[in-house]
């Protein structure tokens, strides 16, 4: 019997395959294609306190083995999520992670407080729909907030500390590969009471339209994801996992069971799948099946056997 | 996995692809297609040209890496299809015009089959293609090469107008619809948008469309929108 489970701060993951924020909506759309309750977890579309329309102009551009995106955190806002999307999440049997972004420090705090208040009310009613908050201090596609908080450790510390104080829910902090020192950033998160760190977010990149002589993107830069960034992500997960004792949620260009195994060997507790959802609309189901098959072939009975062995 | 029945070159860069299998869909809906492994990363959205007893057809214009790979497909090759996705054109009655520009004629052939007797306006920048197929289905068939096909369409003469074509053409159709409405004889004008997409199912928000009631998704809420709903930014 193969054991695919993991546990982060008391949150049970039936397998390590978690869908990454921004690539999976809130799960409804993919839920029409396969049973998303088979997944280890879902990190929902990044939320800000108030709804955001996102960025104008071109929002996606393919690169060699990767993809640049400049969606700019288009989202319905925390309150609309709580009233319209959470009832759907309640129907799912998978770990439910709210990805929380923000433009300003008070936005992050108010967002976290709203989620906590909602969670308190649900617990009183005997329900629980949010399992974890994933604090996004690393979105490269918003002009204010986002990555501005995620590059320098002192700025990030302020956000993590304030949000930690605002919620009792398990807290993961999503780190940017553009951070000055990602391992130092992760240590700070641990010191400030984060329950996990997740990495990496997209890498800031650019595409120039040489005929029109300008950047393809309205905001000049965009976030690079996909297989192109996997080696960088793997290295950073390895570095961070050696430096912190809290669990690491690893992501970046995963498209196969062997990619998952690499991240687990580098020290990840669970992994997230992002761009691959666009390459294969049934990515989650494909990966869980492939992972089980690989573990049978390699006589691995539990991911604990190989976690962090490198 | 599906199988390519044929992939015929119609004119410079324009192909008619027939895929075998039990595929359905409504007018204006689309499929996400890929005929490669990992790269290019994204599948390509193509609107339904027609549904037949043998499968589903598409018209496409070679514009980049993905469509270049499509152009190399030969009968018997494998291709992946996901769909049908999106909300298409509505089933309507009355006086109907179908207006297509360039590769935008692709979804209108299926409309012409479903709504026989509609007046059909097809515009091409250099060379016409596939017009012979529309003829038997049309009330009146108008073909324009090198001009502006919309100039031929009297927006006050119809109850419903379906438009698919390049971005400037859609904007122009919206203006004509507004002008007709001001005259008190406005038809319901439906525009089929061709936005870049990543997932095709409404999850990634890459294909967002600014509408009067907020942001909507070209893939899931569209690609067909009432012209008065859409806000064109450029």
Q: What is the mean pLDDT of each run of 10 residues along chain B (234 residues)?
A: 96 96 95 94 97 96 95 97 96 95 96 96 95 93 94 94 95 93 88 93 94 93 95 82
What region does A151 belong to: left with phi over 0, alpha with psi -120 to 50, or beta? alpha
Contact call for A29 and B203, based on CB within 8 A: yes
Residue A57 Cα, gap to closest chain B Cα (Å): 9
List the beta bridge partners of residue B61: B14
The residues, any chain, with a CB within 8 Å of residue A150's CB and separated by 6 or more, are: A137, A138, A156, A175, A176, A178, A179, A185, A201
Determine how many CB atoms are found less than 10 A away from the CB of residue A13. 21
How wide is the angle at C-alpha B123 spanned by C-alphas B120 and B126, nearest 5°?
150
Residue A165 Cα, gap to closest chain B Cα (Å): 31
Nearest CA in chain B to A76: B215
Residue A298 CA, chain-centre distance (Å), reads: 28
B63 at the A interface (CB within 8 A)?
A: no
What does pTM read for this prediction? 0.93
Q: Which residue has 């056997």 as its token pair?
A: A305
Whether residue A189 lies in the annotated active site: no
| pLDDT per residue rounded down to tens, chain A (310 residues) | 799 999 999 999 999 999 999 999 999 999 999 999 999 999 999 999 999 999 998 999 999 999 999 999 999 999 999 999 999 999 999 999 999 998 888 999 999 999 999 999 999 998 888 999 999 987 555 555 556 677 889 889 999 999 999 999 999 999 999 998 999 999 999 999 999 999 999 999 999 999 999 999 999 999 999 999 999 999 999 999 999 999 999 999 999 999 999 999 999 999 999 999 999 999 999 999 999 999 999 999 999 999 999 9
As for the ipTM of the complex, it is: 0.91
Q: Tell me which chain A residues have a C-beta less than 8 angstroms from the C-beta of B202.
A: 25, 29
**Secondary structure E strands in B76-232:** 78-85, 96-101, 119-124, 141-145, 160-164, 188-192, 208-211, 214-217, 224-226
Contact call for B41 and A60, based on CB within 8 A: no
Q: Is the dihedral of CA B191, B194, B195, B197 positive or negative?
A: positive
A with B: how many residue pairs have Cβ under 8 Å apart? Answer: 85
Report the DSSP pairing between strands A203-206 and A196-199.
unpaired
| Distance between CA atoms of residues B29 and A282, nearest Å | 20
Structure-token pair, residue B39: 């790269």
The residues, any chain, with a CB within 8 Å of residue B218's CB and separated by 6 or more, are: B86, B193, B195, B197, B207, B208, B209
Annotated catalytic residue, options A36, A114, A139, A172: A139
Interface test mutation site (partner A, options B33, B42, B202, B205, max chain A beta carbons within 10 A): B205
Q: Among partner residues A45, A54, A281, which is closest to B215 by beta-carbon distance?
A: A54
């Amino acid at each position: 019997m193969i054991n695919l489970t993991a546990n982060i701060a008391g949150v049970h993951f039936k397998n390590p395959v978690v869908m990454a924020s921004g690539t999976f909506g809130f799960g409804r759309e993919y839920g029409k294609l396969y049973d998303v309750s088979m997944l280890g977890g879902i990190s929902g579309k990044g939320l800000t306190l108030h709804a955001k329309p996102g960025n104008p102009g071109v929002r996606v551009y393919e690169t060699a083995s990767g993809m640049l995106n400049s969606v700019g955190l288009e989202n319905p806002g925390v309150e609309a999520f709580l009233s319209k999307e959470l009832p759907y999440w309640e129907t799912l049997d998978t770990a439910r992670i709210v990805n929380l972004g923000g433009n300003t420090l008070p936005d992050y705090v108010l967002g976290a407080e709203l989620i906590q208040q909602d969670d308190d009310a649900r617990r009183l009613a005997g329900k629980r729909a949010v399992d974890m908050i994933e604090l996004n201090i690393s979105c490269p596609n918003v002009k204010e907030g986002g990555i501005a908080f995620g590059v320098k450790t002192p700025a990030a510390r302020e956000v993590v500390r304030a949000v930690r104080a605002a919620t009792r829910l398990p807290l993961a902090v999503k780190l940017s590969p553009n951070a000055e020192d990602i391992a130092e950033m992760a240590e700070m998160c641990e010191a400030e009471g984060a329950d996990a760190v997740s990495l990496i977010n997209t890498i800031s990149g650019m595409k120039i339209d040489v005929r029109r002589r300008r950047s393809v993107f309205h905001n000049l830069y965009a976030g690079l994801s996909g297989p192109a960034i996997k080696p960088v992500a793997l290295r950073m997960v390895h570095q961070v996992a050696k430096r912190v004792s809290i669990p690491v949620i690893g992501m970046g260009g995963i498209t196969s069971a062997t990619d998952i195994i690499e991240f687990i060997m580098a020290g990840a507790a669970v992994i997230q799948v992002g761009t691959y959802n666009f390459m294969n609309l049934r990515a989650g189901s494909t990966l869980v099946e492939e992972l089980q098959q690989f573990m049978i072939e390699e006589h691995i009975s539990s991911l604990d056997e190989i976690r962090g062995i490198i | 996995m599906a199988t390519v029945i044929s992939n015929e070159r119609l004119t410079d860069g324009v192909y008619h692809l027939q895929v075998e299998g039990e595929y359905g869909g409504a007018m204006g809906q689309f499929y996400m297609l890929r005929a490669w492994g990992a790269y290019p990363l994204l599948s390509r959205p193509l609107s339904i040209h027609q549904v037949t007893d043998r499968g589903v057809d598409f018209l496409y214009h070679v514009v980049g890496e993905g469509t270049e790979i499509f152009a190399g497909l030969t009968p018997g090759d494998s291709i992946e299809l996901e769909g049908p996705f999106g909300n298409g054109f509505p089933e309507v009655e009355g006086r109907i015009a179908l207006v297509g520009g360039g590769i935008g004629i692709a979804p209108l052939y299926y409309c012409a089959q479903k709504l026989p007797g509609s007046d059909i306006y097809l515009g091409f920048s250099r060379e016409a293609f596939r017009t012979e197929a529309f003829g038997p289905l049309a009330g009146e068939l108008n073909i324009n090469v090198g001009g502006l096909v919309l100039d031929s369409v009297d927006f006050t003469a119809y109850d419903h107008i379906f438009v698919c074509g390049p971005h400037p053409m859609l904007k122009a159709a919206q203006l004509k619809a507004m002008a007709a409405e001001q005259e008190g004889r406005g038809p319901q004008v439906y525009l089929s948008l061709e936005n870049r997409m990543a997932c095709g199912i409404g999850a990634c928000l890459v294909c967002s469309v600014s509408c009067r009631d907020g942001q909507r998704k070209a893939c899931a809420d569209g690609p067909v929108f009432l012209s008065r709903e859409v806000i064109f930014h450029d």
